[in-house]
Amino acid sequence: MSETKYKIVKNWIKSKILDGTFLPSQKIKSETELMEQFNVSRHTVRLALGELVSEGWLYKKQGSGTYVSDLSLKQDHKPHIHKKSVAIITTYISDYIFPSIIRGAESVLSQEGYQVSLFSTNNNHESERKFLEIILSQRFDGIIVEPTKSAISNPNINYYLNLEALGIPYIMINAYYDALDPISILVNDEKGGFLQTEHLIKNGHRNIIGFFKTDDMQGTKRMKGFLNAHRYYGIPINPANIITYNTEQKFTKPAEILDSILDKKDRPTGIVCYNDELAVKLLDVIRNKGLQIPKDLSIVGFDDSFLAEVSEVKLTTITHPKSEMGKLAARMIIEMIEKRRSPKTKEVKLESYVFEPELVIRNSTKDLVKVENPRGE
């Protein structure tokens, strides 16, 4: 029990150092204050402080108190040996489009002699915090980050500010935290959502339902494109046709809502999906209702993932650069690292990059105009 208590104290102090709350040379709380805060004995506090001092996080001044060490001077590597290292944080690692992004980045980084460490947050802020603490502790040279729940307020902003204070460069991919305004590599998600919807509208669809995951920036942008396409073509927007959900609901809410919608007489003729992963899941719902794609219903995905072609229905979808995004992120982070190591080199200002998406037409959508007027009259 005593060990658990001292680790709680130790980890709390360490977190405050890593997120920049406790600054270098700052005096931390006294032993008595820590005892009262955590309701522990002096022995427990001294054990926690002792380990942090021996590990280089804190230092003591005789008769004065305990102070924060300068993290920028803390070295975990062996003397005179520097292993070039980059961390890649993604929301997911092993499925969907993420392996392609990671492989693209790794191919460039390994060629340049960098060791790559992978971290997956599962789109969870607490996991992101833990990984940022590991990265700060181990002093990686640079970080490629896919933000966690990028459309909502992030509790880990302090960690990114501390990375900046320590001069550790990072790049954000697929989305970014607006408050930080970082260098980022994105897809034009708003245009992608517009193209998805425009394709259905041009094919005569007027009752179109859209599913968007709105705790990520990509979803809010794609929804904006969906709405703008309706406005551009003068198609009235039915608010009931806009279905939003979050990460925790992605395996349940969209399918449940579509199941109830398909029971109605005035069911939609077209579906715009947040991504291919969702489209494939909704295909099961449609199939269970005895409906066929595209005969009874048209559906458009996003990301042009492997799922778009392996399913029995080949999905019309929107392109995503995947491997190219990973490669570009790797090249940019290497440039930022090298610039930091050699500040006298000619300064080349790096800027964020946006990939422009394209529509890939397969056989999951139906042209209602040709059906209603087969002779084109």
Low-confidence ranges of the chain (pLDDT < 50): 1-2, 76-81, 374-377
Mark whether 123 and 168 lie in a shared domain. Answer: yes
Nearest to 224 by CA among 256, 182, 192: 192
| DSSP structure class, residue 208 | E
Predicted pLDDT at 348 = 62
Nearest to 147 by CA among 168, 131, 164: 131
80-127, pLDDT tens digit by residue?
345 799 999 999 988 899 999 999 999 999 999 999 999 999 999 999
Mark whether 166 and 288 lie in a shared domain. Answer: no
Range of the domain at 288: 189-320+359-372
183-236, pLDDT tens digit by residue?
999 999 999 999 999 999 999 999 999 999 999 999 999 999 999 999 999 999
Mark whether 201 and 259 lie in a shared domain. Answer: yes
Mark whether 228 and 364 lie in a shared domain. Answer: yes
Mark whether 332 and 308 lie in a shared domain. Answer: no
Return d(Cα 211, Cα 273) in angstroms, integer: 5
Predicted pLDDT at 73 = 60
Mark whether 316 and 263 lie in a shared domain. Answer: yes
Predicted pLDDT at 20 = 82
How many domains in the chain? 3
Token pair recorded at residue 177:
């935290």
Mark whether 102 and 250 lie in a shared domain. Answer: no
Mark whether 247 and 367 lie in a shared domain. Answer: yes
Question: Is 47 contained in some domain?
Answer: yes
Question: Is 339 contained in some domain?
Answer: yes
Residue carrying the six token digits 């002792």:
50
Question: Is 78 contained in some domain?
Answer: no
pTM of the full predicted structure? Answer: 0.85
Question: Is 30 contained in some domain?
Answer: yes
Spell out a b/e string for 203-221, using b for 16 or more CB atoms within 10 Å of the CB, else e. Answer: bbbeebbbbbbbbbbbbbb
Mark whether 34 and 141 lie in a shared domain. Answer: no
